[in-house]
Amino acid sequence: MLPDEQSLMSQAAEGNRNASGRLYTYYFPFLFDSVFFICKSKEDTEEIIHDAFMKIWAKKETLSMVRSFGYRQTKT
């Protein structure tokens, strides 16, 4: 988890592009590996991630309700 993620989420929800950019920059490598594994195309992977973050930005007001973009791995 990004150390100041909740603060960045709140700032992004208020329209702070810098905070949104920091979230994008942090999560891009993690998302890239997962999406690339599925689609096998660098260009498609980048486009999918970009589109996802554009949709998040379009609904940025709801980010204040999100605790983290990260996930917790559960033990089975």
Give the Cα separation of 74 and 76 in Å (integer). Answer: 6
pLDDT in tens, 6-44: 899 999 999 999 999 999 999 999 999 999 999 999 999
Band the pLDDT of 73: cuts 50, 70, 90: very low
Q: How confident is the model at residue 68 (pLDDT cuts 50, 70, 90)?
A: confident
Residue 76 burial by Cβ neighbours in a 10 Å radius (0-12, 13-18, 19+): exposed
Q: Count the domains in the chain.
A: 1
Is 27 within the bounds of a domain? yes
Q: Is 63 helix (H, G, I), strand (E, B) or coil?
A: helix
3-class secondary-structure state, position 36: helix
Q: For residues 49 and 44, give the distance between their C-alpha atoms in angstroms, rounded to a whole number.
A: 9
Cα 55 from Cα 5, distance rounded (Å): 19
Q: Tell me if 43 is assigned to some domain.
A: yes
pTM of the model: 0.82
Residue 76, domain member (yes or no): no
